């Protein structure tokens, strides 16, 4: 064999070994880096309770204007409406999107008012109960962190139990009759829940990715001020958008207050996982912070069964090209959730989250961040709302820390 052939053979062998080692070192089934749809805003859906359902006026045959704050900008959108938890079909006579003048009022910039159509150009759409509807592709320009208004005129069918995200922490305005194109209107009712809207996607260039936050009321922002965008997801978004190197990362908050792995408020975490993580447009990363409600109601050690469910979630993420990071569970001493048993479960889960054999692609140690150094079973007082949920300062700290850890993890993965 000539020297040239020997060198060529060695180079080919080295390349094959490198490929083999690379594939063995990564559990994530990588997806190609291409332009496509990504979620610039999202929320997890559940059935509205009595306190979250408008009655005077009701939704049917009236106008509902809802505000959202997007993550990244774009020039083309598609809107997903959900009737997954409705008891009857929901009819929409018209749906519009526009720029909101201010989060504190329902006035829109009418020069941006745009009709959202469905099924190839229809302004009306009926969604059977248990299903969703995705709009046509709509030209619409907006920038990162813009406040938008989605205004809909509902038909005579909306359902006694509307599909909703009950913890919107944003004002929704309801007016009697048809005001879908009005610059502003006097609201006959106000709520702080979203109705029927579950995801707004935008067409984005290659390299744009979504990080999904999968959790409970801590991710949903319990205790934060309506219209002030004080959840840790909001702070994470601001941090990402402030850095030119991470402006291509969008955040989908899929937290539900009261939710848990095995049950709680809304669909159980294990049951909604595919919908709220795997099916989010552009999902490439996921932060898991779910389990304190399971722990709080446990009457025996459930850590092993919870770990089994977490492993299923991790495997599903990896099979779908999503890197998954563990958010450690915060301390709760001083709250009714605390007991010796519950603390043992929390410590066991956090120890597993931090272990190299868990299968996670990294850890975001919120427990270490917010626990009181004088007694780590408590939150630091400054960062505690009720010894279970973080304060507004605590949410800000979590968002800043999540950004720091994500950038560190992403640098390590390159």
According to the model, what pLDDT value does residue 27 have?
A: 79
Flag the least confident range among 63-72, 157-166, 259-268, 297-306.
157-166
Q: Are strands 323-327 and 362-364 parallel, antiparallel or unpaired?
A: parallel
Phi-psi region for residue 130, left (φ > 0), alpha (ψ -120 to 50) or beta? Answer: left
Measured distance CA(89)–CA(161) in Å, rounded: 11
Q: Of the given ranges (6-10, 253-257, 297-301), which has the lowest mean pLDDT? A: 6-10
| Preceding omega of 4 cis (within 30 degrees of 0) | no
| Percentages of the chain per state (helix, strand, coil), in multiples of 5 | 30, 30, 40
What average pLDDT does range 307-329 have in this prediction?
Answer: 98
Q: Which of 199, 395, 146, 413 is nearest to 285 (CA)?
A: 413
Return all residues near 226 (Cβ < 8 A) that are at least 6 apart: 169, 170, 171, 192
Q: Phi first, then psi: what are they for 174, rounded to 5°?
A: -125, 130
Residue 12 banded pLDDT, cuts 50, 70, 90: very low
Question: 198 and 45 in contact (C-beta within 8 Å)?
Answer: yes
Which tokens hold the place of 63? 């106008």
359-370 pLDDT tens trace: 999 999 999 999
Helix (H, G, I), strand (E, B) or coil at 151: strand
Q: Beta strands of 146-245 (E only): which ranges?
A: 147-154, 163-165, 172-175, 189-191, 194-195, 197-204, 209-215
How far is residue 240's CA from residue 223's CA, in Å, rounded to a whole number? 23
* pLDDT above 70 coverage of the chain, percent: 94
Mean pLDDT confidence for 139-143 = 98
In the numeric block, the tokens 């805003």 are attached to: 41
Query: Angle between the 232-242 and 392-413 helix axes, to the nearest 10 degrees?
Result: 50
Residues whose CB falls within 8 Å of the CB of residue 361, separated by 6 or more in sequence, listed in order = 27, 28, 323, 324, 325, 409, 413
The pLDDT of residue 50? 94
pLDDT at 4 over 80: no
Question: Which DSSP category does 104 fall into?
Answer: T
Query: Which residue has tokens 């020297």?
Result: 3
CA distance 3 to 28: 39
pLDDT tens across 342-398, in order?
Answer: 999 999 999 999 999 999 999 999 999 999 999 999 999 999 999 999 999 999 999
Q: What pLDDT sits at residue 15?
A: 41
Helices of type H across 278-361:
292-296, 303-319, 340-354
Q: At which residue do the structure tokens 């067409």 appear?
A: 203
Is residue 100 within 8 Å of 140, Cβ to Cβ?
no
CB 167 within 8 A of CB 193: yes
């Amino acid at each position: 064999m000539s020297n040239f052939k020997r060198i060529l053979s060695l180079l080919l062998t080295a390349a094959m070994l490198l490929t083999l080692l690379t594939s063995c070192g990564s559990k994530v089934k990588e997806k190609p880096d291409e332009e496509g749809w990504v979620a610039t805003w999202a929320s997890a859906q559940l059935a509205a309770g009595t306190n979250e359902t408008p009655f005077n006026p009701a939704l049917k045959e009236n106008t509902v204007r809802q505000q959202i704050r997007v993550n990244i900008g774009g020039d083309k959108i598609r809107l997903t409406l959900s009737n997954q938890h409705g008891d009857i079909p929901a009819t929409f006579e018209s749906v519009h999107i526009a720029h909101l003048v201010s989060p504190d009022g329902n006035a829109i910039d009418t020069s941006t008012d745009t009709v959202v159509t469905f099924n190839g150009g229809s302004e009306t759409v009926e969604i059977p109960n248990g299903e969703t509807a995705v709009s046509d592709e709509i030209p619409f320009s907006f920038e990162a962190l813009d406040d938008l208004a989605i205004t809909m005129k509902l038909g005579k069918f909306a359902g006694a139990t509307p599909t909703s995200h009950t913890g919107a922490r944003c004002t929704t305005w309801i007016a009697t009759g048809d005001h879908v194109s009005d610059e502003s209107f006097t609201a006959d009712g106000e709520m702080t829940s979203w109705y029927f809207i579950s995801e707004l996607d935008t067409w984005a260039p290659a390299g744009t990715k979504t990080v999904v936050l999968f959790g409970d009321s801590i991710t949903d922002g319990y205790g934060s001020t309506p219209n002030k965008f004080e959840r840790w997801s909001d702070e994470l978004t601001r941090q990402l958008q402030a850095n030119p190197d991470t402006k291509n990362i969008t955040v989908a908050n899929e937290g539900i207050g009261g939710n848990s792995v095995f049950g709680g408020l809304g669909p159980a975490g294990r049951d909604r996982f595919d919908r709220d993580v795997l099916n989010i447009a552009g999902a490439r990363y996921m932060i898991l912070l779910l389990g304190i409600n399971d722990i709080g109601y446990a009457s025996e050690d459930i850590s092993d069964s919870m770990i089994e469910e977490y492993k299923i979630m991790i495997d599903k993420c990896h099979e779908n090209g999503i890197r998954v990071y563990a958010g450690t569970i915060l301390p709760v001493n001083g709250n009714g959730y605390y007991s010796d048993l519950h603390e043992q479960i929390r410590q066991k889960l956090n120890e597993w989250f931090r272990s190299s054999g868990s299968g996670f692609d990294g850890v975001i140690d919120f427990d270490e961040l917010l626990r009181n150094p004088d007694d780590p079973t408590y939150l630091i007082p400054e960062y505690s709302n009720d010894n279970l949920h973080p304060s507004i300062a605590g949410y800000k700290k979590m968002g800043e820390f999540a950004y720091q850890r994500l950038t560190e993890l992403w640098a390590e993965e390159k």
